[in-house]
């Protein structure tokens, strides 16, 4: 079972509404604390090419002074885990950020984590979460079976991306897991982004079938 939230055609992530950067990060962190066992974690500033808008040079200098660019790439500035609060304070000092006609800002602060899903009953990690078990198969939407991930993106808007892999989850399992996840998330899960993946007869790939989990129908 896999969830991809959301596809590029829907913005690539769930909007979090009008919340502060600090509140958005707190909600994202709370989700990880409640439902996940993080495997990797990263934070970085990104200066994407923003149509009809250029980033102010003084802004770039402020970010560079605190977080020198990695490998000379002047648009990517890694933040050590112990300095996340400092990065958040710097981001807040730059607000309100300018935006182009499509609401995009020239400065983004990313938080990314790969994780293993826990069980709703607090019994540990959900079994079977190992990409090697599924031949490192990746769905067209970018979900690696056996692995889950999430990203929080702070710019002029706040958004959260979420991909889930829940091996061997039957409908009765989803009836428990989905409400548990929903109660810990700062946005509503989509009923349209769930796919049950089954091994093909050849044993070399997987075939997907869209479903709508109990509780989201």
Band of the pLDDT at 217, cuts 50, 70, 90? Answer: low
Q: What is the mean pLDDT of residues 48-59?
A: 93
| Dihedrals phi, psi of 125, to nearest 5 degrees | -85, 140
Q: Tell me: the pLDDT tens digits for 163-176?
A: 999 999 999 999 99
pLDDT tens sequence across 139-169: 998 899 999 999 999 999 999 999 999 999 9
Sequence-distant contacts of 168-174: CB under 8 A, at least 24 apart: 168/1, 168/127, 168/128, 169/1, 171/213, 171/214, 174/1, 174/213, 174/214, 174/215
Contacts of 151 (CB under 8 A, 6+ apart): 13, 110, 111, 112, 113, 160, 161
When pLDDT is averaged across residues 26-34 and rounded to a whole number, the result is: 97
**Which residue has 């007869």 as its token pair?**
201
Give me the residues paired with residue 110 across strands.
44, 153
Query: Which sequence spans correspond to the domains of the chain?
Result: 2-189
Q: What share of the chain is helix, strand, coil (3-state, %, to 5)?
A: 30, 30, 40
pTM of the full predicted structure? 0.93
pLDDT band, residue 9 (cuts 50/70/90): low
pLDDT over 70 (residue 205): yes
């Amino acid at each position: 079972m896999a969830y991809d939230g959301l596809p590029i055609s829907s913005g690539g992530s769930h909007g979090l509404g009008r919340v502060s950067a600090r509140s958005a990060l707190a909600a994202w962190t709370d989700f990880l604390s409640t439902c996940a066992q993080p495997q990797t974690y990263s934070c970085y500033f990104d200066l994407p090419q923003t149509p009809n808008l250029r980033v102010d040079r003084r802004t770039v200098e402020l970010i560079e002074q605190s977080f020198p660019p990695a490998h000379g790439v002047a648009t990517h500035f890694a933040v050590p885990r112990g300095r996340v609060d400092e990065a958040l304070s710097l981001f807040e000092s730059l607000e309100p950020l300018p935006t182009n006609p499509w609401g995009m800002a020239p400065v983004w602060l990313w938080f990314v984590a790969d994780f293993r899903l826990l069980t709703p009953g607090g019994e540990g990690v959900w079994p079977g979460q190992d990409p090697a078990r599924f031949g490192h198969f990746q769905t067209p939407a970018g979900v690696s079976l056996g692995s889950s991930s999430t990203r929080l993106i702070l710019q002029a808007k706040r958004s959260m991306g979420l991909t889930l892999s829940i091996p061997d989850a039957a409908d009765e399992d989803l009836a428990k897991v989905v409400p548990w996840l929903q109660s810990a998330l700062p946005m509503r899960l989509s009923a349209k982004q769930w796919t049950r993946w089954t091994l093909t007869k050849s044993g070399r790939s997987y075939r997907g079938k869209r479903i709508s989990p109990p509780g989201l129908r």
